[in-house]
């Protein structure tokens, strides 16, 4: 548990340092994820400890968004004034994005599957 | 400290310590999770939505400023970093499928990412949102820290973007199942990837409730979309600004 958590933090740290060093537009944790994925591919998979720790952390991923979500109270006035435009935009755009992404991916992976056969 | 001595009540002491913010966050989430499980993880019983609503109500009733609350809650917020890194592990388990689908995934990512950004600004504009709100809406489908960074760079309001990002995540988690039913999308890799592009980590949390494979592809989409949006927004910014004004 402790070793695995340290490993995750080390990869995040490397990611943050690279992002700062090269002024990358990608957040440090995302770079850390890519690097850890590459390391796993080289090493041939995670240890049981790392797998368990990741599972524990990801099981309650939702919890980690709660503090930022409570920040809505800072914007009550703006949200109140523009509620219709904001909700129309969020609902419309989110549903559209899910539908478009899923349809494109399904169409393309079917085609790729047929070519591979 | 004399100021503190004047207010000897426990509440005053507690309300200035990070302990309270952290504890109420965990309590609210566990209560919300319990409700969500009792509803058989129905998408409408979203734990983030319930916990945020309960906490906002509590803070309003006790007159606690958000900054005071966040002093404690930041310890939970911090774990977003290592959790993002940890997404590499379920992703690795999907290595074979990932290789087979690489090109379709990248194409769907580019189109999905562009759809998220342009449709949010377009619909917002159509309904008369202000310029600051529109610029805060543009990066709303990517994970909180990068969305805030993008909003700041293009002249939006980072803290508003954070809220829009969370709302987008909840909306995606609530609606995806119905969109997929309507369109007849059954492949868990496709389902996971699309929810990850549209609604980042909260979508990913929802996808993990559905299956390990959906969760892994959603985590991948979330990471890739952070990258894609960071590249696309500056590219499309002149066009977006001309559109908004």
Q: Would you say residue A42 lies in a domain?
A: yes
* Facing B133 at nearest CB: one of A53, A61, A86: A86
Question: Is B164 close to A86, i.e. CB distance below 8 A?
Answer: yes
Which residues of chain A are within 8 Å of residue B111 when distances are taken between CB atoms?
100-101, 104
The confidence score (pLDDT) of residue B241 equals 81
| Partner-chain contact A75 B163, CB within 8 Å | yes
- The confidence band for B6, taking pLDDT boundaries of 50, 70 and 90, is low
Of A5, A63, A94, the CB nearest to B82: A5
pLDDT digits (tens, 9 = 90+) for A64-95: 989 988 988 999 888 889 999 999 999 999 99
User: In this predicted structure, what is the pLDDT of residue B114?
Assistant: 95
Element (H, E) at B89: helix B88-92
More confident residue, B239 or B218: B218
- A78 and A40 in a single domain? The answer is no
Which of A16-20, B106-110, B120-124, B224-228 is the least confident region?
Answer: B224-228
Q: Is B9 helix (H, G, I), strand (E, B) or coil?
A: coil
| Residue A64 in domain | no
Looking at the fold, whether A47 and A78 belong to one and the same domain comes out as: no
Tell me, yes or no, whether A12 and A52 share the same domain: yes
Judgement on whether residues A92 and A40 belong to the same structural domain of the protein: no
For residue B4, is pLDDT > 70? no
Q: Is the pTM higher than 0.90?
A: no
Chain B, window 72-101: residues with a beta carbon less than 8 angstroms from a chain A beta carbon:
73-74, 76-77, 79-92, 95, 100-101
Judge whether residue B41 has pLDDT over 90. no
The answer to whether residues A54 and A78 belong to one domain is: no
Residues A82 and A48 in one domain: no
Q: A-chain residues within 8 Å CB-CB of B108? A: 101, 104-105, 108
- Distance from the Cα of residue B48 to its chain's centroid: 10
Which residue out of A11, A63, A75, A116 would a mutagenesis test of the B interface target, given it has the greatest number of B Cβ atoms within 10 Å?
A63
The total of structural domains in chain A comes to: 2
Considering the domain architecture, whether residues A50 and A102 belong to the same structural domain is answered as: no
Does any domain span residue A18? yes
ipTM exceeding 0.95? Answer: no
Please give the residue of chain B at the shortest CA–CA distance from A83: B129
Contact at 8 Å (CB) between B52 and B77? no
pLDDT higher than 80, residue B1: no
Last residue of a domain, which of A10, A30, A59? A59
The pLDDT assigned to A117 comes to 44
Cβ–Cβ below 8 Å for A72 and B168: no
Q: Which of A59, A91, A108 is the last residue of a domain?
A: A59
B112 neighbourhood in chain A, CB within 8 Å: 97, 100-101, 104
Residue A28 CB-half CA count within 13 A: 18
Alpha-carbon distances of A54 from A29, A33, B195, B205, rounded to whole Å: 14, 12, 21, 13
When CB atoms are compared, the residue of B52, B104, B163 closest to A66 is B52
pLDDT, greater one: A7 or B232? A7
Does A102 contact B at CB distance below 8 Å? Answer: yes
Q: How far apart are the first and last CA of chain A?
A: 43
- Residue ranges covered by each domain of chain B: 1-78, 80-245
User: How far apart are the C-alpha atoms of A100 and A103, rounded to whole Å?
Assistant: 5
Please give the share of chain A, as a percent, with pLDDT higher than 90: 62
* Same domain (yes/no): A1, A47: yes
Q: Are residues A91 and A52 in the same domain?
A: no
- On whether both A80 and A27 belong to a single domain, the answer is no
Between A and B, how many CB-CB pairs are < 8 A? 326
Nearest-Cα distance to chain B for A38, in Å, is: 9
Helix or strand holding residue B149 (H, E) = helix B144-154
Segments forming the whole domain that contains residue A37: 1-59
Q: Which string of b and e fits B60-69 if b means at least 16 CB within 10 Å? A: eeeebebebb
Residues B120-155: tens digit of each pLDDT = 999 999 999 999 999 999 999 988 877 887 888 788
Q: What is the pLDDT of residue B22?
A: 93
Taking CB atoms and an 8 Å limit, are B73 and A66 in contact across chains?
yes
Q: Tell me what pLDDT residue B5 has.
A: 55
User: Pick from B70, B183, B227: which is nearest to A103 by CB?
Assistant: B183
Least trusted range by pLDDT, from A9-13, A98-102, B8-12, B67-71: B8-12
**CB of A34 less than 8 A from some CB of B:** yes
What would the pLDDT profile of A56-65 be if each residue is shown by its tens digit?
A: 988 888 899 8
Does B244 score more than 80 pLDDT? Answer: no
Considering the domain architecture, whether residues A74 and A101 belong to the same structural domain is answered as yes
Asked if the Cβ–Cβ distance from A78 to B194 is below 8 Å, we say: no
Mean pLDDT on B212-223? 91
- pLDDT score for A30: 83
A51 and A80 co-located in one domain: no
Report if residue A105 sits inside a domain: yes
Q: In whole angstroms, how far apart are CA B146 and each of A20, B224, B228?
A: 13, 12, 11
Average pLDDT, chain B: 89
């Amino acid at each position: 548990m402790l070793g695995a958590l340290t490993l995750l933090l080390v990869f995040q740290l490397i990611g943050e340092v690279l992002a700062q060093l090269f002024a990358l537009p990608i957040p440090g944790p995302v770079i850390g994820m890519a690097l850890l994925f590459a390391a796993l591919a080289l090493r041939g998979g995670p240890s049981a400890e790392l797998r368990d720790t990741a599972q524990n952390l990801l099981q309650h991923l939702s919890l980690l968004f709660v503090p930022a979500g409570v920040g809505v109270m800072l914007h009550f006035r703006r949200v109140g004034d523009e509620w219709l435009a904001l909700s129309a935009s969020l609902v419309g755009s989110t549903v559209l994005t899910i539908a478009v992404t899923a349809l494109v991916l399904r169409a393309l992976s079917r085609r790729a599957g047929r070519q591979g056969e | 400290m004399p100021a503190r001595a004047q207010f000897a009540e426990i509440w005053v002491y507690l309300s200035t310590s990070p302990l309270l913010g952290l504890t109420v966050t965990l309590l609210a989430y566990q209560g919300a999770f319990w409700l969500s499980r009792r509803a058989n993880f129905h998408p409408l019983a979203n734990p983030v939505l319930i916990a945020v609503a309960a906490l906002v109500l509590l803070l309003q009733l006790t007159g606690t400023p958000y900054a005071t609350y966040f002093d404690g809650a930041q310890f939970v917020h911090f774990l977003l970093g290592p959790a993002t890194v940890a997404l590499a592990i379920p992703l690795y388990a999907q290595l074979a499928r990932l290789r087979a689908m690489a090109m379709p995934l990248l194409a769907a990512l580019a189109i999905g990412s562009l759809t998220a950004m342009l449709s949010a600004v377009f619909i917002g504009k159509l309904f008369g949102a202000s310029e600051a709100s529109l610029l805060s809406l543009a990066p709303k489908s990517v994970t909180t820290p990068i969305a805030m960074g993008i909003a700041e760079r293009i002249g939006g309001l980072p803290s508003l973007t954070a809220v829009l990002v969370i709302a987008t995540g909840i909306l995606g988690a609530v609606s995806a199942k119905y969109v997929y039913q309507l369109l007849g999308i059954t492949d868990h890799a496709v389902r996971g990837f699309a929810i990850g592009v549209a609604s980042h980590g909260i979508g990913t949390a929802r996808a993990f409730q559905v299956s390990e494979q959906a969760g892994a592809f959603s985590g991948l989409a979330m990471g890739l979309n952070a990258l894609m949006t960071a590249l696309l927004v500056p590219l499309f910014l002149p066009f977006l600004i001309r559109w908004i004004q």
